């Protein structure tokens, strides 16, 4: 959950607050004006909406630098609270950035129109509206003791529900903070090499949610560079990438203890044996669901722990 005072506000990040503009809105505008984030979030060319190019990468590389935690779903809920709507992107945008792009719009949030932002208000919850209605109704109908008692009881119930909502929000924030701590505690790095951006975004989102550091590579060249220059704990390699076999051999040469999972289309599942013989630890069949991906990831972590124990205590074996 994001709350308006949850930003990191140091001397270098202070910015001018327009009269009446919520802090969350100011921070969002500042993020869009930062050219270093254009790869992940940017204005639409007309300046009337903004785009999140790759949601999982945006959450990991941008949100964590601007907010106290990088919870993408909480960020989207905060947008909804300020009346931003997810809209259907044009064909031109989809062709440029892919089907994974998200586009959000609020009529009072426009490029070079910060003067409009004071009109953006946080939407009242149902409990808040009910409380206001109950208080107004009490003011108009409080002439008798019976009405007074009934309205007092009604108002008390509304207040109780209102504080329940606050408690739920606090618990959600605690959970998000705990998740952030767990993410920092888990050091595993994952490389997902997948030619299908929708599949890689899905896998990246699931793994990022579990607290892993995820890098996406869409081509053989990009994957090869990552393999040669960075060390990862688990590699997901699509069999549809050109020379996927060579990528597996290269990983095994550079990082013998790495966990390798080959992503194979269900129509070519006979290839599984080939990749296992090349050194892959497991095979993930497409189409797959979140539970299958998590199960295989857990198996990889168990294998990794066993290898680490073996290297640390070789005499035990």
Residue 199 maps to which CATH number? Answer: 3.40.50.2300
For 27, 56, 111, 182, the CA distances from 52, given in Å and listed in that order, are 15, 10, 15, 25
- pLDDT score, position 152: 73
Any domain includes 4: no
Cα angle 290-57-54, degrees, rounded to a multiple of 5: 85
- pLDDT score, position 78: 87
CATH classification of the domain holding 41: 1.10.10.10
- pLDDT score, position 162: 66
Averages of pLDDT over runs of 10 residues in the chain (317 residues) are 42 44 89 91 95 88 76 84 91 90 94 93 64 52 58 74 71 65 62 87 89 88 86 92 88 90 80 84 88 91 87 70
- pLDDT score, position 178: 63
Decide: 240 and 195 in contact? Cβ < 8 Å.
yes
Distance CA 93, CA 97 (A): 6
Residues 64 and 166 in one domain: no
Q: Containing domain of residue 284, as a range? A: 186-316
Secondary structure letter of residue 100 according to DSSP: T
- pLDDT score, position 111: 95
- pLDDT score, position 180: 56
And the tokens for 57? Answer: 């990468």
- pLDDT score, position 314: 72
Residues 215 and 284 in one domain: yes
Residues 169 and 200 in one domain: no
Residues 295 and 235 in one domain: yes
Any domain includes 191: yes
Any domain includes 225: yes
Other C-beta atoms lying within 10 Å of the C-beta of residue 239: 22
- pLDDT score, position 77: 84
Any domain includes 1: no
- pLDDT score, position 147: 58
Residues 114 and 224 in one domain: no
Nearest one of 208, 223, 211, 217 to 187, comparing CA atoms: 211
Residues 264 and 193 in one domain: yes
Any domain includes 54: yes
Residues 108 and 27 in one domain: yes
The count of structural domains within the chain is 3
Any domain includes 3: no
Residues 259 and 237 in one domain: yes
Any domain includes 6: no
Peptide bond connecting 287 to the previous residue in cis, omega within 30 degrees of 0: yes
Q: Which of 145, 164, 182 is the last residue of a domain?
A: 182
Residues 230 and 302 in one domain: yes
Residues 100 and 147 in one domain: no
Distance CA 34, CA 42 (A): 9
Residues 91 and 193 in one domain: no
Residues 160 and 244 in one domain: no
Any domain includes 2: no
């Amino acid at each position: 959950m994001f709350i308006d005072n949850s930003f990191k506000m140091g001397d270098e990040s202070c910015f001018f607050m327009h009269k009446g503009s919520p802090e969350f809105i100011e921070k969002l505008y500042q993020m869009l004006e930062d050219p270093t984030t254009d790869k992940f979030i940017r204005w639409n060319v007309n300046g009337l909406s903004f785009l999140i190019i790759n949601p999982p990468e945006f959450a990991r590389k941008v949100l964590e630098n601007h907010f106290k935690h990088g919870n993408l779903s909480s960020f989207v809920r905060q947008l909804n609270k300020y009346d931003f709507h997810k809209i259907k992107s044009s064909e031109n945008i989809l062709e440029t950035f892919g089907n994974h792009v998200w586009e959000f719009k609020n009529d009072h949030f426009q490029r070079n129109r910060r003067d409009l932002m004071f009109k953006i208000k946080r939407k009242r919850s149902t409990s808040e509206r009910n409380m206001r209605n109950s208080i107004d109704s009490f003011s108009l109908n409080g002439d008798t003791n019976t009405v007074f008692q009934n309205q007092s009881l009604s108002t008390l119930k509304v207040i109780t529900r209102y504080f329940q909502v606050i408690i739920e929000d606090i618990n959600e924030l605690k959970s998000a903070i705990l998740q952030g701590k767990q993410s920092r505690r888990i050091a595993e790095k994952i490389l997902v090499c997948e030619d299908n951006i929708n599949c890689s975004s899905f896998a990246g989102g699931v793994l990022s949610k579990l607290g892993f550091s995820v890098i996406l590579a869409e081509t053989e060249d990009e994957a090869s560079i990552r393999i040669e220059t960075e060390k990862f704990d688990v590699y997901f390699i699509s069999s549809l990438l050109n020379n996927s076999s060579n990528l597996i051999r290269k990983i095994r040469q550079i990082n013998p203890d790495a966990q390798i999972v080959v992503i194979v289309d269900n129509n070519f599942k006979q290839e599984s044996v080939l990749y296992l013989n090349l050194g892959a630890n497991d095979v993930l069949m497409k189409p797959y669901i979140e539970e299958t991906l998590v199960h295989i990831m857990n198996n990889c972590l168990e294998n990794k722990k066993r290898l680490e124990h073996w290297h640390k205590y070789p005499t035990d074996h």
